[in-house]
Amino acid sequence: MRTDSTVRRFASALVFASLCSAAIAQGPYKVLDHWKLSDPGGWDYLLVDSSAHRVYITRGDHVDVVDATSGKLAGTISGLHGTHGVALDPDGKTGYLSDGRGNAVAVFDRSNLSITATIPAGTNPDAIIWEPATKSVWAFNGRSNDISVIDAASRKVVATIPVPGKPEFAVSDGRGSVYNNIEDKNEIVKIDVHSHKIVATWPACDSPSGLALDPGGNRLFAVCDGKKMSVLDTASGKALATPAIGNGPDAAAYSEKNKLAFASCGEGVLSVVDASGSDYKTVQTLATKRGARTMAYDPSTDRIYTVTADFGPAPAATADNPRPRPAMVPGSFEVIVIGR
């Protein structure tokens, strides 16, 4: 039989849990704006060019380039087949796109958004990064399970690195190492950028996709299925923590200034993890919108950009397409701007 004091303790615990949940929901970040882009098409990666105040959003056969302050469309990169990611040369002049269906990397002029060269890569290049230590571009080929390393000066592939499975997102520490999620093997590989060899393979959580790096703290943040983020030490590969995040994540970011790790999740939340200590608590679960699973972080403004759209009902399944995707409602694509 419950006593009055037991009931009071139980009620106090409920109040405390409610206050904690409210604090996580409120947190430091909020949705600041919604920017509509009327052009059709799906989407994949986003990238912020802080110096030029631009957000690059890959949209299948084209790339939307949006003013990061006003939300106005600054221009479009067209003539692509099925683009996924964007990488930028620090020279401020040149950019690179992974054109998946074209099995190529497209080079573009950032001043006028024209494509200036096309470089053959592996099959279905997906993630793409600039590697500063060797001044090269790395394209991660999702179907040929390898990496095309492109010398920026000659614009030629100088190495093809096989990986043990499907490569997802990657990061460079700028000091000689690239880290890459291997989604279908639940692993992270560490690659020496000079020898082009895998020097370590570490277990990660389920289906790691987005990946972020704290270079000063030597930590990786991989976002995974099962509502988990995997925090790893970059020297040993030791798992440091698995903080809880939202369901269906696809991108990760890290704020060096604020010591926070972010995960954008398809269920419609942005998860914020405190990386200032060793407990890695989830300090905020911010409601965004269903489908907003990719993002880009701008450290100069402490703003996050994520995208999604509205969808109609899914068509009936067929033998050729057993899991059909619902069609996007025309004109519903939007950029969600998040900040303090």
Contact 275, 263 (CB under 8 A): no
pLDDT at 1: 45
pLDDT at 21: 46
The boundaries of the domain holding residue 51 are: 27-339
Tell me the per-residue pLDDT of 284-297, one tens digit each, with 9 for 90 and over.
999 999 999 999 99
pLDDT at 14: 43
In a domain, 92, yes or no: yes
In a domain, 1, yes or no: no
Give the pair of three-digit tokens for residue 20. 């904690």
213 pairs with which residues across the strands? 220
**C-alpha distances out from residue 59 to 18, 82, 333, 338, Å:** 40, 8, 11, 21
Contact 297, 255 (CB under 8 A): yes
In a domain, 206, yes or no: yes
CATH of the domain at 249: 2.130.10.10
Structural domains in the chain (count)? 1
In a domain, 321, yes or no: yes
pLDDT at 313: 87
In a domain, 311, yes or no: yes
pLDDT at 120: 98
- Average pLDDT of 63-90? 97
